[in-house]
């Protein structure tokens, strides 16, 4: 069996505006997504076989509650790959789950994307321009965030349901630390979106805010310049029924820029002092929170 080991970075949303709900149940969004150097590890092995068989094993600190059958997004991604490319194979996948479940960090989506990319390499699928577009379409059918994780770009501007992606040049200095705290509560995506009160009018103020945020990243702006521009519309929904998340953000705001990521329940703070970030981490860990200190992810990591 040929085998590949790969890393699946998670993400935070520096900006997330929900514009409208579509007839298919998805939502039109505008988002600035950023990969971070916290993630899951996968080992994927493949060999030819008369019929496709997928074996998925999940281990790690956040493996509990994650099924190893066809309901798992990694399993779905692998099966979709084999069906799309008309390949029959015996596939073994070992997933080390380091990202909390339903945490707003995109762990499942990243795992699925990493699986698709690894299978392309293992099965000799050359990702030319057309194939990349096909893979993005395949990924989008599995989950709205998956196309984002198929690229090596740290930052991307996302539109549509998240599948229309524009890379953002990363000229930020490596002096920003990302502290992520999770209250050990799941925050299902559907509930977060269902709780939104949407108006038909688009907000020009918010549109200009994300444009300015992108501009600051591309010109290497400071944390002081980035902080007032971060935004997440889903906070209003999630805070209404998960007070722990609201309280966590309030606490982290005392230390710097803080925002709920995605549909929660994780909250992140951006800091330019590692010692300060680690001090906050130690305090919150002692209180029972799951806390990480990491950086923005770069493809070379």
State the virtual CA torsion across 37, 3, 72, 31 in degrees, nearest 10. Answer: 30
- Please, what is the end-to-end C-alpha distance for the chain in angstroms? 27
Place of tokens 């030319």: 128
3-state percent breakdown (helix, strand, coil) of the chain, nearest 5 = 35, 30, 35
- The residues facing 97 across adjacent strands are none
**Residue 292 vs residues 1, 69, 166: alpha-carbon distances, Å:** 35, 29, 28
Using DSSP, state whether 56 is helix, strand or coil.
strand
Q: Which amino acids are annotated catalytic?
A: 11, 145
Place of tokens 């709780």: 195
By DSSP bridging, strand 53-59 and strand 164-168 are unpaired
């Amino acid at each position: 069996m040929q085998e590949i080991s790969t890393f699946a970075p998670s993400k935070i949303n520096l900006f997330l505006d929900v514009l409208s709900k579509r007839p298919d149940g998805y939502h039109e969004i505008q988002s600035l997504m950023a990969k971070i150097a916290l993630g899951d590890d996968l080992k994927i092995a493949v060999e030819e076989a008369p019929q496709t068989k997928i074996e998925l094993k999940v281990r790690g600190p956040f493996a509990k509650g994650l099924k190893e059958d066809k309901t798992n997004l990694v399993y779905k991604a692998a099966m979709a790959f084999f069906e799309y490319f008309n390949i029959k194979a015996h596939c073994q996948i070992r997933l080390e789950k380091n990202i909390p479940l339903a945490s707003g960090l995109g762990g499942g989506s990243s795992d699925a994307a990493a699986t698709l990319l690894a299978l392309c390499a293992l099965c000799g699928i050359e990702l030319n321009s057309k194939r990349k577009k096909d893979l993005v379409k395949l990924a989008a059918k599995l989950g709205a965030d998956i196309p984002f994780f198929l690229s090596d770009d740290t930052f991307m501007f996302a539109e549509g349901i998240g599948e229309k992606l524009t890379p953002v040049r990363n000229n930020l200095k490596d002096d920003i630390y990302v502290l992520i705290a999770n209250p050990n509560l799941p925050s299902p995506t559907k509930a977060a979106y269902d709780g939104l009160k949407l108006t038909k009018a688009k907000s020009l103020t918010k549109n200009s805010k994300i444009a300015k945020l992108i501009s600051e990243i591309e010109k290497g702006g400071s944390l002081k310049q980035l902080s007032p521009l971060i935004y997440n519309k889903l906070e209003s929904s999630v805070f209404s029924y998960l007070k722990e998340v609201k309280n966590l953000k309030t606490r982290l705001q005392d230390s710097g820029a803080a925002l709920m990521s995605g549909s929660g329940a994780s909250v992140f703070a951006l800091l330019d002092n590692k010692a300060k970030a680690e001090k906050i981490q130690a305090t919150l860990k002692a209180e029972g929170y799951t806390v990480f200190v990491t950086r923005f992810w770069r493809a070379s990591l």
